[in-house]
Amino acid sequence: MLSQCPRNIFIKIDANMSLSNYYWATDMTKKIAALDVNKCIGCMECMFACSRRVGRGGFDKSAIRVRSAGGIERGFVIVVCRACENPPCARVCPTGALRERKGGGVILSEDKCIGCGFCAQACIMGAIFWDGERNKPIVCKYCGECADYCVHNAIGMVEVKGEA
Amino acid sequence: MKAKDMNRVLYIDLTKKDNKIENRDDLFDEYFGGSGVAIKLLEEECPRGIDPLSEANPIIFAVGPLTALFPSASKTVAMFKSPLTGNLGESHTGGRSAMAIKLAGYGAIVIKGSSDFPIYLAIHGDEVKFKDASSIWGIEAVAVGRILREVELGAGVRTIIRIGRAGEKMVRYACAVCETYRHFGRLGLGAVMGSKKLKAVVISADKSIEIPKDKRREYKRVYDEIQEVVVETDAMEKYHDLGTAGKIYDMNKLGGMAYKNLESASAPEEIAREFSGENIAEKYLSKRVSCAHCPVGCIHLASLRELYEPGYYFKTTTIPYDNETIYALGFMLGMKSAEDYLRLIDVVDRIGMDAISTGVTLAWVTEAYERGIITKEHTDGLEFHWGDVQVYVKAVNKIVEMPNEFYQNLAKGVEHASSVYGGQDYALAFGGNEMPEYHTGIACYLNNLTGARHSHLDSAGYDLDQKLIGKEFTLEEVVKGLLKEEEWRQILSSLVVCFFARKVYSAERVIRALDAIGIENWTEGKLEDLGRVIHRAKMDFKFREGFDLAKLRIPKRIFEVSTPHGFLKEEDMRKAIEIYGEMIGRDIQN
């Protein structure tokens, strides 16, 4: 399965892609994935859930975004970190604030982050959001809180399965 | 921002192209938000006796304390003086409007004055821009959304409220369209926007609400409980699966569905099957979507593929459908196929008219034409027959273009048109507003007559009628039941919670939700009192503007067709109105 996935890029999960073609990576690490974007009703509950973790009503602290694919009739696009292997965002971080997570994805050490924004630019998925208040990136923690509130099962946590 | 800091009102003056922001804790502390705050702002901003299409008429959008904080608190209240009824105008919509207004940092937005050239407002958080809309004037509502989506900020976290050509031409029942498939449908907000030369309002979110640290645990607990109830009550099944269209077949079977201008209260079986939620879903449903922060997803979108020109020119159109539009543009007009009904909705939506008012008005025209009081001379050559979708499409365009006096009169609604041409006995408007679907009994019509908005959602009379089938009841009990429901709904529409989640937001849960976000010390009794206060404030505005219970016109037609409770009697209806007057402290002087 791994061979089907272009390496080193984040994949925008939208209606044109079937997730099963894009499994890759190593051990029992988990990540958020769009299970079936056609089931997404655009309720934004995932976005609200993500900010709620830090005591906010809204989504300016959210690491997941849902928007229409250019008009609601075209369906929705779910933008969230795909937990890449060898992530480009970490590679461009000048201070080592973003480091690779074992199995894919990144971990942010905020105290090292200088807010240069290179990581957000390097993510062609646009899955690194920006906290304007603190001038820091908003990076998915793969905690699954968003998926817990997706009652239509459009997104969910999946194990990042290792190659046999 | 802290929740309290969002008790801001953005005042916009279109004449001076100026704006200011004021903190109005005084209003939000006392009335929550939504309808409660909007009626107070309307009292402040709307001078007595003004022409609703004059620049003095304010447009007020208001959200509430639960907006963006709890599931299904997803609605925005619009308040204004209605150009259709000449009285209180209040209309609600969802989409992303509530989330966007709240997270732009406002509890309410007041738009006053009028521009001397077409304009649209771009409100991105604290930034308010007046932008020239000359190049989008005359464009249909759907296309305006497409254009503004490209040129404005805030993709995914904004609302685009706009009008179609009907609003520009000030058709009195023009709607304002929101996120393409949602509407401030009733009572003519679109015409008021048109009178101000306000083509659209774009609002995008850039803030969030900070929950106090000591409340976070409790907030999440209450949130989770409400979320679970939203998902597990029948709301999800009822509104997500087939949507509101799911009850069409049963309502028709019950004999409570107005068909062909209420020639009867039940359509033939094959029509009921054709328009049933099941049939439309199976043949046309393409997508179900939701308002921001509501897991239900009640919005049903149909996909219609049509050959529109020889040579394999196909188009696929996405069209929203629901219970009320199936009634108004399907049953009322004697449509035979769901496809014709979908085509007509598409036209009505693009041009930007309220579907219910349009359907009821065209139904009256059809009957009046068949009876010969309206002729081809009036109709500019159109021949009206039940179910003729081609003619209805042309008529909708003529109502907007107003090529003659007849269409100018139709553009003022069925109450007005029938006062000019006759046929009032079957002109189905109540309080000046075209009637909603139900012919279920006395409660639904009392709801239409006495409800502050003359909308079936004021007090859900149709629901009470159905609960009373097979039971004995007095007029007092019916009126009391309706009034109690309408008063409680003032709380829901001040919070602002979607009425589809009304069973979720019981008084007890509302109190805990408020408490969890730092709005403390509410009790069931206090909520009930506030509901009454807000309702009376709305009624006070209505009476101030000339509403008169004794002069309410009741079309004879509703007494000529049997309901599930049998035939209604005018004397009972008048008596009930009198009882209603007494209950709200407005005795009818005979």
For residue range A75-105, list pLDDT tens digits in order.
999 999 999 989 999 999 999 999 999 888 9
Q: Residue B589 has what pLDDT?
A: 65
CA distance A68 to chain B (A): 7
Contact indicator for A110, A99 with CB cutoff of 8 Å: no
Residue whose C-alpha is closest to residue B436's, from B533, B323, B538, B561: B323
**Whether residue B197 is found in the same domain as residue B345:** no
In-domain check, residue B96:
yes
Q: Does residue B543 sit within a domain?
A: no
Residue B487 lies in a domain: no
Q: What is the CATH number of the domain that holds B168?
A: 3.60.9.10
**Are B56 and B161 within one domain?**
yes
pLDDT bracket for residue A66 (50, 70, 90) = very high
Helix axes B524-544, B34-45, angle to 10 degrees: 30
Are B142 and B288 members of one domain? no
DSSP strand pairing (B299-309 vs B285-289): antiparallel
**Plot region of B243 (φ>0 → left; ψ -120 to 50 → alpha; else → beta):** left
CA distance A149 to chain B (A): 8
Residues B257 and B182 in one domain: no
B303: nearest CA in chain A?
A73
Q: Got the DSSP string for B64-133? A: -TTTTTSTT---EEEEEE-TTTSSEEEEEE-TTHHHHHHHTT-SEEEEES--SS-EEEEEETTEEEEEE-
Q: Is B586 helix (H, G, I), strand (E, B) or coil?
A: coil
- For residue A151, which residues of chain B lie inside 8 Å, CB to CB? 231, 236, 295
pLDDT confidence of A159, banded at 50, 70, 90?
Answer: confident
Question: Measuring CA to CA, which residue among B103, B497, B301 is closest to residue A76?
Answer: B301
Q: Which residues of B257-272 are buried (b: 16+ CB within 10 A; e: fewer)?
A: bbbbbbbbbbbeeebb
Return the pLDDT at B290: 96
Residue A22 is predicted with a pLDDT of 37
B46 and B97 both lie in a single domain: yes
Q: Is the pLDDT of residue A164 over 70?
A: no
Contact B292 A43 (CB under 8 A): yes
B16 and B153 in one domain?
yes
Q: Looking at chain B from residue 233 to 262, which residues have their Cβ under 8 Å from any Cβ of chain A?
A: 236
Q: Could B208 and A51 be called an inter-chain contact, meaning their C-beta atoms sit closer than 8 Å? A: yes
What pLDDT sits at residue A12? 39
Query: Averaged over A55-79, what is the pLDDT?
Result: 93
Fold of A11-83+123-159: Alpha-Beta Plaits (3.30.70)
Q: Which residues of A touch B71 (CB under 8 A)?
A: 45
Of B387, B438, B432, B388, nearest to B414 by C-alpha is B432
Nearest chain B CA: its distance from A140 CA (Å): 18
Q: CB B156 to CB A67 under 8 A? A: yes
d(CA B360, CA B417): 12
If chain B, 590 residues long, is cut into consecutive pieces of 10 residues, what is the mean pLDDT of each piece?
93 98 98 98 98 98 98 98 98 98 98 98 98 98 96 95 98 97 97 98 96 95 96 82 95 98 98 98 97 96 95 96 98 98 98 98 98 98 98 98 98 98 98 98 98 97 97 98 98 97 96 96 98 98 97 98 98 98 86
B318: closest CA of chain A, how far (Å): 6
Residue B584 touches chain A, beta carbons under 8 Å: no
B272's tokens: 């009921």
Check A73 against B99: CB less than 8 A apart. no
DSSP-derived letter for residue A92 is T
Which chain A residues have a beta carbon less than 8 Å from that of B216?
55
Quick check: bond before A77 cis, omega within 30? no
Does residue B128 form part of some domain?
Answer: yes
Exposure letters A17-40 (e unless 16+ CB within 10 A, then b):
eebeebbbbeeebbbbbbbebebb
b (16+ CB within 10 A) / e for B209-236:
bbbeeebbebbbebbeebbebbbeeebb
Contact B291 A70 (CB under 8 A): no
Q: Which two tokens stand for residue B478?
A: 């019916």
Asked if the ipTM is above 0.90, the reply is: yes
What mean pLDDT is predicted for residues A108-133?
A: 96
Residue B389 sits in the same domain as residue B260: yes
CATH number at residue B318: 1.10.569.10
CB within 8 Å of A132: residues ≥ 6 apart:
A60
B313 falls within a domain? yes
> How many angstroms separate the CA atoms of B59 and B42, rounded?
8
What residue in B sits closest to A46 (Cα-Cα)?
Answer: B293
Distance of CA B163 to the CA centre of its chain: 15
Q: Residue B135: count other Cβ atoms within 10 Å of its Cβ.
A: 10
pLDDT above 60 for A27? no
Which positions in chain A touch B103 (Cβ < 8 Å)? 58-60
**B426 within a domain of the structure (yes/no):** no
Chain A contact for B221 (CB, 8 A cutoff): no
Structural domain includes residue B44:
yes
| B25 lies in the same domain as B100 | yes
Tell me how far CA of residue A36 lies from CA of A18, A39, B240, B477, B517, in angstroms. 8, 6, 17, 50, 34
Are B208 and A149 within 8 A, CB to CB?
Answer: no
Strand partners for B321: B300
For residue A15, pLDDT beyond 80? no
Domain count, chain B: 2
**How far is it between the farthest Cα atoms of chain A?**
44
- Return the exposure string of A78-87: e unless at least 16 CB atoms fall within 10 Å of the residue's CB, then b: bbbbbbbbeb
Q: How many CA atoms lie within 13 A of B170 on its CB side?
A: 14
Most B CBs within 10 A among A43, A47, A53, A79, hence the mutation to make, goes to A43
Residues B190, B302: one domain?
A: no
Question: Is A93 within 8 Å of A110 (Cβ atoms)?
Answer: no
Would you state the pLDDT for residue A29?
Answer: 81
Q: What is the CA radius of gyration of chain B?
A: 23
Same domain, B187 and B250: no
Mean pLDDT in residue range A2-23 = 36
Q: What is the pLDDT of residue A25?
A: 36
Are both B276 and B144 inside the same structural domain?
no
C-alpha–C-alpha distance, residues B327 and A28, integer Å: 54
Beta strands in B354-463 (DSSP E): 429-430, 433-434
What's the domain range around B252? 246-394
B4 touches chain A (CB under 8 A): no
* pLDDT for position A28: 61
Q: Is residue B438 part of a domain?
A: no
